[in-house]
Amino acid sequence: MLGCMKRFSEEQKRKAIYVILLVLYWLGGYFVTNLLSQGREFSIMYSIVDKWIPFVPQWLYVYMAIYLVVFSPLLIVKDFITFRQLVRAYVFVFSISFLVFLIYPVKMIRPLIAPQDFSARMVAVLYSVDKPYNCFPSIHVSAIFLAALVCLRVRWKAGIIILISSIMISIAALYTKQHYFVDVLGGFLVALGGYDIFFVRSKKWQQKGINNRD
C-alpha cells in the first residue's frame, strides 16, 4: 500500500483527498436531508409533462449511468486549478440542493411496482434505498450537467459525449419516476449557476488563462 502511494505525485494525492471528501459530503448530506424530510409536510410538483411520461423500469439502466458521468470530469480535467474550481462548484451545487431540500421538501409520488421482471425488481430496490424525498432541485441532474458544462469547456469532444449522456440520464429520471419534470429543470438551473460562478465569473480562474481545449 505504501509503495503504491509513493508512485503518485503530491498533486495526485491531493486530488484523491478532494474526491473522497466530496463523495462523503454528497452522500452524507443527501441521506441526512432525506432522513430529516421524512414525516414533514411536503409539496408535490406533478405537472402535465409528468402525466404524459409513463413508468418504464428499463430506463433504470440509463439512470444508473449517472454515477459514471458525475465524476467523469474528475478524470478528464488535468489542470489542478481547474480541478479545484470544479470541486468548489460541486460543493456549491450540493449545498444549494441540501438547503432547498430542508426548506422546501418535495416528495415524489411513485408508482406501485409489480415485480414481474428483473428491471421492475431493480427499480423496487432503488426505491427502497433512495426514499422519495430530496426531489427539487434534482441534485443528480445538477451534478451531471455541471460535469458536462465543465468538460465542454476543457475538452469539448469528451464534453459532447457527457452532455448527451446527461440528457439521456435526465430523461431516465422521468421514466423511472425518480423525479418530476420541474425537478430536472431546477437541477439544470442550479448547475448553470454553479458553472457561471466558478468558471465564467471567477476572476481567479480566468487570470490563469487556462485553455486546454482539444
pLDDT tens, 98-126? 999 999 999 999 988 876 789 889 999 99
pLDDT at residue 210 tops 50: no
Q: How far apart are CA 160 and CA 100, in angstroms?
A: 30
Whole-model pTM over 0.75: yes
Q: Tell me what pLDDT residue 214 has.
A: 42
Q: How far apart are CA 152 and CA 137, in angstroms?
A: 23
Which among 98, 71, 100 has a CA at the least distance from the CA of 86?
71
At residue 43, what are phi and psi to the nearest 5 degrees?
A: -105, 155
What are the sequence ranges of the domains in the chain?
10-207
Judge residue 138's burial from the number of C-beta atoms within 10 Å of its C-beta, 0-12 exposed, 13-18 middle, 19 or more buried.
Answer: buried
Cell digits of residue 5 = 502511494
Q: Tell me what pLDDT residue 37 has.
A: 86
Q: Lowest-pLDDT range, 27-36, 114-123, 170-179?
A: 114-123
Q: Tell me what pLDDT residue 141 has.
A: 95
Cell digits of residue 41 = 409536510
Q: Tell me what pLDDT residue 191 has.
A: 96
